[in-house]
């Protein structure tokens, strides 16, 4: 795996000057992931969302790679088609079959957990040599902070309001990383922008893996989470330290925790700094807060059992 000195000498394939918000976790995720591609050429596909609309304002582009924008729901299908076309041209002798080209798709949690799940599942099952990266910011941020299936229980969103009838989203978030691992793909991992070495190492593994690989990257959104723009990385780090977002990988069916947390902090230390959870700390919501902690604990224990059995 590349060390810090080597990484600093690699080209940054997402240029500055884009129109993503200050402190946006998505741009940090993209830059760290693409460092893992090494010197090989990369073809990028991107679902409609914050990342796409803010980096490709016509007639400009922040991407220093071939870039394909597609619909909200089919980033995985598009990039799997590009990978298949490349292989077909190689078989026909029209391009060098030994030429290394990496194929990667990026999507937010709306375009990955929800609308794009069919296309993602199909691409993984078919075994395309590609990497799919979800930058998980926990809602449909680009269209107005609507809840997604990645939105945590208790979070405020514009379609999960706080009031007499409910205190934010009522359901637990979907565990997409485990769903992808259940496809039996060669590599799946959960990472965070707060742990750059862990993330870039996982990206290197994903790009080097023959066949499909999936990365789920925790990428806070200051606008939607109601946090200061200079707190993005700190909030992401707290998600790891509380066990809300465990860092692990599943490589050829072997589960391994990549960043160990010896003394987990209470989940309220992750929740409290975020405006989308401020109602949880008002009188009357103690039971919901305890329920969220219980959910985190049960998922943590379940994962620890998998790691122990590896």
DSSP label of 171? S
pLDDT over threshold 90, residue 264: yes
Q: What is the pLDDT of residues 117-148, one digit of tens each?
A: 999 999 999 999 999 999 999 999 999 999 99
Lookup: tokens for 220: 């806070």
Name the CA dihedral angle for 208, 189, 177, 229, rounded to a multiple of 10 degrees.
-110
Rounded to whole angstroms, the Cα distance separating 61 from 24 reads: 18
Cα separation of 279 and 272, whole Å? 10
Contacts with 28 (C-beta within 8 Å, 6 or more apart), sequence order: 193, 219, 232, 233
Contact 111, 103 (CB under 8 A): no
Q: Decide: 181 and 174 in contact? Cβ < 8 Å.
A: no
Tell me the backbone φ, ψ of residue 75, rounded to 5 degrees: -60, -45
User: Which pTM value belongs to this model?
Assistant: 0.96
Q: What is the pLDDT of residues 71-106, one digit of tens each?
A: 999 999 999 999 999 999 999 999 998 899 999 999
Q: Which residue ranges make up each domain of the chain?
A: 4-308
Domain 4-308 indexed as CATH 3.40.50.970: yes
């Amino acid at each position: 795996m590349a060390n810090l000195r080597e990484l600093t000498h690699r080209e940054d394939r997402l240029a500055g000057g884009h129109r993503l918000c200050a402190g946006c976790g998505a741009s940090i995720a993209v830059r760290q992931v693409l460092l893992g591609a090494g010197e090989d050429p990369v073809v990028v596909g991107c679902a409609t969302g914050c990342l796409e609309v803010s980096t490709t304002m016509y007639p400009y582009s922040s991407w220093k790679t071939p870039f394909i924008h597609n619909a909200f729901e089919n980033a995985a299908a598009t990039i799997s088609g590009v990978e298949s076309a490349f292989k077909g041209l190689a078989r026909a002798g029209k391009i060098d079959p030994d030429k290394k080209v990496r194929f990667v798709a990026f999507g937010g949690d709306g375009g990955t957990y929800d609308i794009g799940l069919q296309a993602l599942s199909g691409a993984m099952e078919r075994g395309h040599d590609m990497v799919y990266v979800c930058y998980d910011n926990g809602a449909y941020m680009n269209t107005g902070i609507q809840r997604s299936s990645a939105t945590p229980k208790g979070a405020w969103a514009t379609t999960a309001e706080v009031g007499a009838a409910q205190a934010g989203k009522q359901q637990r978030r979907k565990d997409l990383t485990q769903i992808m691992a259940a496809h039996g793909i060669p590599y799946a991992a959960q990472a965070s922008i707060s742990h750059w070495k862990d993330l870039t190492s996982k990206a290197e593994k994903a790009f080097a893996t023959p066949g499909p690989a999936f990365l789920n990257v925790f990428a806070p959104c200051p606008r939607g989470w109601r946090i200061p723009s200079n707190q993005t990385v700190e909030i992401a780090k707290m998600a790891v330290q509380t066990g809300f977002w465990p860092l692990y990988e599943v490589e050829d069916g072997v589960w391994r925790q990549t960043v160990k947390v010896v003394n987990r902090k209470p989940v309220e230390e992750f929740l409290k700094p975020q405006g989308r959870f401020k109602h949880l700390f008002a009188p009357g919501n103690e039971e919901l807060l305890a329920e969220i902690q219980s959910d985190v604990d049960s998922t943590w224990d379940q994962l620890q059992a998998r790691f122990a059995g590896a």
